[in-house]
Structure 1
Amino acid sequence: MKSEPKTEQELLDRAFAIAGITFEQLADEANMPVPPDLKRDKGWVGQLLEWHLGATAGSKPTQDFEKLGIELKSIPISYSGKPLETTFVCVAPLVGVHGLTWETSHVRNKLSRILWVPVEGEREIPLAERRVGSPLIWSPSAEQEQQLKSDWEELMEMIVLGEVEQITAKHGEVLQLRPKAANGRALTDAYGSSGRIIKTRPRGFYLRTQFTDQILQNHYIHAAGN
């Protein structure tokens, strides 16, 4: 695995160095077999990028580049450059949530600075032949942060009130709360409407595709104008 990058610029340079290269070429260099598809290996692309970029966090609940305070997010895009799926941010706390604030939340920490790495995601392109796109480093604007905060507060209030089971993918303008588990049998504690603890599927925070699309479009329009 590559050593940890010392600066943000070094990280960005590494990300630009792998742009245009296929997964197969990157996997060969990292000595990682390419799975036939991502059905059973959802995190494979992330692991491949982490190896090449020198991410250190692994599964720890900190940013992927802890010393730089930067999170790594790969984003599968269509032929037209649109995100193909929502972006997982982090697991949502369902108990012990009284007194949590947006300012100190795990979500805000994860979203404070992100290295976005677009990757080809169209299903008919064999995984080995998909290429990495041009990266960008992003922090939310004041307006984006306000949107995220407002959604987070609405969703967390529902969790506190014991309404976790009533939350659907329709809640939240830019940030969603959705079940997050490899299978439906994994259960965790949450508050029920009576205030008692119930068992429910773990939930995760996800960014909606129109939000990540806006991030990509703003960046590439701005980059083209320079």
Structure 2
Amino acid sequence: MNKIIPPENLPELLERAYLMAGVNLAHIAAQRGLSVPKDLKRDKGWVGQLIEMELGAIAGSKPEQDFLHLGVELKTIPIDSLGHPLETTYVCVAPLHNIQGLTWQNSLVCHKLQRVLWVPIEGERCIPVGERRIGTPILWEPTPHELQLLQQDWEEIMELIALGKVDKVTARHGEVLQLRPKAANSKALTQSIAADGSLKMTNPRGFYLKKNFTASILNRVFG
């Protein structure tokens, strides 16, 4: 399988993304010599990895933007027949300890969401995985208002983490950004701050963008 060279500049990245629009996942997978999973229950990240590979993303699971040299994060987003997001969008792992001096400006959430290439993909379960088509990509930079909403949610959630209240944070917290368990199963544990300032064990958490927020991004472009 030939490894695709990362795009040298933003126009090249966008050209690659636009060339995929209208193509189904089986066609991309065949070009890369990959088999298409029957469903995504056990292969939840398969679609994202396929698109990363096709566009030449280099970050993998590293805590940085997918195209660091271009300042661009890549996010695939499953949509229904009306173009509405079908699920929340994972941003990154949330830090649960050693957070002294961490600010919104130097957070991974802020870094990753500076500029995002959204790639919508048909996601309804009635469509076989291989037959799902890739939509028109969107290069998005948050408006000052969107940044304000993101920062506000992030700061409120991080304050609860700092106070040892991570277990009290639910998916309902936050207007556009939420904190949710992020692990293959509930047995995975990591350190977090306890109410008395010591460390305790809890499930890893991740930051996710709520569907209403990503829907507003898609609506702004596609109406």
The TM-score, its normalising length taken from structure 1, stands at: 0.96
Give the drift of 1:33.
1.0
Alignment of 1:58-69 (within 5 A): 58-69=60-71
Aligned to 2:186: 184
**Partner-residue secondary structure (3-state), 1:67:** helix
Runs of 4+ in 1 over 2 A off after TM superposition: none
**Residue 116 of structure 2 corresponds to residue 125 of structure 1:** no
**Partner-residue secondary structure (3-state), 2:105:** helix
Alpha-carbon distance between aligned partners in 1 of 2:125 and 2:67, rounded to the nearest angstrom: 30
Give, as a single letter, the amino acid of the residue that structure 2 aligns with 1:67. H
Query: What stretches of structure 1 of length at least 5 have no aligned partner?
Result: 222-226
Give the drift of 1:62.
1.2
Give the drift of 1:99.
1.4
Aligned to 1:25: 27
**Identity across matched positions, percent:** 56
Alignment of 1:55-94 (within 5 A): 55-94=57-96
**Partner-residue secondary structure (3-state), 1:112:** coil
Q: How many residues align?
A: 221
CA shift digits 1:53-83 (9 cap, x unpaired): 1111111111111110101000000010000
Give the drift of 1:194.
1.7
Q: Cα RMSD (Å) of the superposition?
A: 0.7
Alpha-carbon distance between aligned partners in 1 of 2:183 and 2:197, rounded to the nearest angstrom: 24
Give the drift of 1:148.
0.1
Give the drift of 1:161.
0.3
Give the drift of 1:100.
0.6
Query: What stretches of structure 2 of length at least 5 have no aligned partner?
Result: none
Give the drift of 1:15.
0.5
**Partner-residue secondary structure (3-state), 1:103:** coil
